[in-house]
């Protein structure tokens, strides 16, 4: 079973929009109240408030604050959970201390479980349709299209203030069989492709005989000047300042919408391009070979005092404009979706960008990103940087690479079936359910008190 997320635009009428804004306001209020609670307890008695403690407060809270009572209790819990996630990320050093959110920066709320459980209903076959929110008592018109539609499982309502538009982000569960691209589901691992994501060319692929280079679309080069111009125009208008109680001028609002529109356009173009490119590769090959990618390190800022600051900034811009992380994600799910296999090689062991594809000797001086063309001083083999590294990866996957062990496990092979992505989990709603069940079991036995804190696994 795979899950996919699809976003639809909502078209509320005036009364419906009023109700949506009201619900968003209340959820925002709850979010801030939870933060205030945690801050207060910490300042007063150096005590960390757990998620469960706050969740257990909700019924009591609703009695005093009747305007909360009509909202779905699971969606309120998920807002409390948002605070918990934010704090967990902070405790793990991934984020800054959670702040109070203004209504302008509060996006929306979530119905964390199946429609029948948390009171929502989506009437759609994947293209347009209607969405019912039972707690608000409204049915909204919804437009959009999903490539793979399945059983709806969670719903998040999102408001984008810059656009003044509402969206429904729905996750659906799809049976694996439906994801198969072709009609014959028999696995034939025939075609192997090694691919590398670069900056000069966005993707370089090698299938053993020929290279395909997909050019970098560089949306930012086209749209960036426009965005820049629009932002300059925006800065000339009277911006809002809440501390000085200055309201934004109508011209500022208009210019702000313009910037948001251009940025969305760039984002949409990027997404469209990514899907086209990855679908193309995935439809032609059964096994994908790539290296572990460290985009975070790649896009990190240059060291202080480094002469290559500007160069690094340019590199960052082009990495981000292609959207590396997402490209890799899309490729892997598309190849796996049709029953193929994605092999991720250990960069440190294989060193594709420093190894000669012909004789296997490692050249340390090949490493700097500015070295675009490589000549091996051992065997005289000449190759372009991006092409060289995909050749090495292809050779490794097919056991032909000189200078490396013949066993794939020697070179740190990890198949797509084992989890190659190591993420720090901050505790999802699913994990939460597990803890909750454990907790109720302990209660049922009647011998222990409830666990005092919830630890993210």
Q: Quick one: 239 or 359, whose CB is closer to Zn ion?
A: 359
Tokens of 257: 């919408």
d(CA 127, CA 314): 40
277 binds Zn ion (CB under 5 A): no
Instruction: Report, in Å, the least distance between residue 404 CB and Zn ion.
Output: 13
Instruction: Report, in Å, the least distance between residue 403 CB and Zn ion.
Output: 9
377 binds Zn ion (CB under 5 A): no
| b/e 193-202 (16+ beta carbons within 10 angstroms → b) | bbbbbbbebb
403 binds Zn ion (CB under 5 A): no
381 binds Zn ion (CB under 5 A): yes
Host H or E run for residue 313: helix 309-322
Instruction: Report, in Å, the least distance between residue 235 CB and Zn ion.
Output: 54
94 binds Zn ion (CB under 5 A): no
Instruction: Report, in Å, the least distance between residue 204 CB and Zn ion.
Output: 19
Q: Which of residues 357-376 bind Zn ion (CB under 5 A)?
A: 358-359, 376
246 binds Zn ion (CB under 5 A): no
Q: What is the DSSP secondary-structure string of 53-91?
A: HHHHHHHHHHHH-GGGTTS-HHHHHHHHHHHHHHHHHHH
Q: Determine how β-strand 165-174 pairs with β-strand 382-384.
A: unpaired
Q: Quick one: 85 or 356, whose CB is closer to Zn ion?
A: 356
Contact 340, 287 (CB under 8 A): yes
379 binds Zn ion (CB under 5 A): yes
Q: Quick one: 334 or 374, whose CB is closer to Zn ion?
A: 374
Q: Quick one: 94 or 379, whose CB is closer to Zn ion?
A: 379
23 binds Zn ion (CB under 5 A): no
Indicate which single residue of 148, 191, 378, 399 sits in contact with Zn ion (rule: CB under 5 A). 378
With the CA atoms of 267, 270, 274 and 280 taken in that order, what torsion angle do they form, in degrees rounded to the nearest 10? 130
Instruction: Report, in Å, the least distance between residue 345 CB and Zn ion.
Output: 19
Residues constituting the chain? 457
404 binds Zn ion (CB under 5 A): no
Instruction: Report, in Å, the least distance between residue 364 CB and Zn ion.
Output: 14
d(CA 229, CA 100): 32
Binding characters for Zn ion, 337-356, by CB under 5 A (x = yes): -------------------x
Residue 254: CB atoms within 10 Å: 13
Q: What is the DSSP secondary-structure string of 236-247?
A: TS---BTTTTBP
Applying CB under 5 A, the residues found at the interface with Zn ion are 356, 358-359, 376, 378-379, 381
């Amino acid at each position: 079973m795979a899950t996919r997320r699809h976003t639809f635009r909502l078209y509320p009428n005036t009364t419906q929009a009023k109700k949506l804004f009201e619900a968003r306001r209340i959820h925002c209020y709850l979010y801030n109240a939870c933060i205030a609670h945690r801050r207060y307890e910490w300042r007063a008695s150096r005590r960390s408030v757990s998620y469960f403690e706050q969740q257990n407060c909700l019924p009591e809270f609703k009695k005093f604050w009747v305007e909360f009572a009509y909202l779905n209790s699971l969606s309120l819990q998920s807002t409390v959970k948002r605070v918990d996630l934010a704090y967990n990320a902070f405790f793990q050093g991934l984020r800054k201390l959670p702040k109070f959110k203004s209504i302008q920066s509060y996006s929306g709320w979530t119905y964390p479980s199946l429609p029948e459980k948390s009171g929502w209903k989506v009437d759609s076959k994947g293209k347009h349709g209607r969405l019912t929110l039972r707690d608000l008592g409204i049915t909204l018109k919804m437009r959009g299209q999903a490539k793979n539609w399945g059983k709806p499982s969670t719903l998040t309502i999102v408001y984008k203030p810059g656009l003044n538009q509402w969206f429904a982000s729905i996750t659906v569960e799809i049976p694996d069989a439906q994801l198969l691209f072709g009609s014959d589901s028999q696995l034939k691992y025939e075609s192997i492709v090694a691919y590398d994501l670069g900056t000069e060319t966005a993707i370089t692929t090698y299938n053993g005989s020929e290279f395909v280079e997909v050019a970098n679309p560089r949306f930012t080069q086209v749209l960036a000047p426009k965005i820049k111009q629009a932002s300059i125009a925006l800065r000339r208008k009277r911006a809002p300042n809440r501390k000085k109680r200055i309201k934004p001028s109508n011209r500022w609002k208009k210019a702000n919408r313009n910037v948001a529109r251009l940025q969305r356009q760039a984002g949409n173009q990027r997404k469209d391009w990514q899907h086209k490119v990855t679908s193309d590769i995935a439809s032609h090959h059964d096994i994908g070979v790539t290296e572990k990618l460290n985009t975070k390190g790649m896009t990190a800022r240059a060291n202080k005092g480094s002469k290559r600051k500007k160069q690094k900034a340019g590199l960052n811009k082009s990495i981000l404009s292609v959207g590396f992380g997402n490209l890799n994600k899309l490729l892997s799910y598309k190849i796996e979706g049709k029953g193929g296999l994605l092999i991720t090689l250990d960069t440190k062991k294989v060193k594709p960008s420093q190894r000669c594809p012909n004789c296997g000797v490692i050249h340390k001086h090949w490493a700097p990103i500015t070295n675009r063309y490589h000549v091996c001083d051992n065997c005289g083999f000449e190759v372009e940087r991006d092409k060289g590294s995909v050749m090495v990866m292809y050779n490794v996957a097919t056991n032909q690479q000189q200078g490396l062990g013949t066993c794939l496990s020697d070179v740190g092979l990890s198949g797509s079936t084992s989890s190659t992505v190591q993420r720090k989990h901050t505790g999802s709603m699913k994990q939460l359910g597990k803890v909750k069940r454990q907790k109720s079991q302990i209660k049922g036995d009647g011998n222990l008190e409830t666990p005092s804190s919830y630890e993210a696994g």
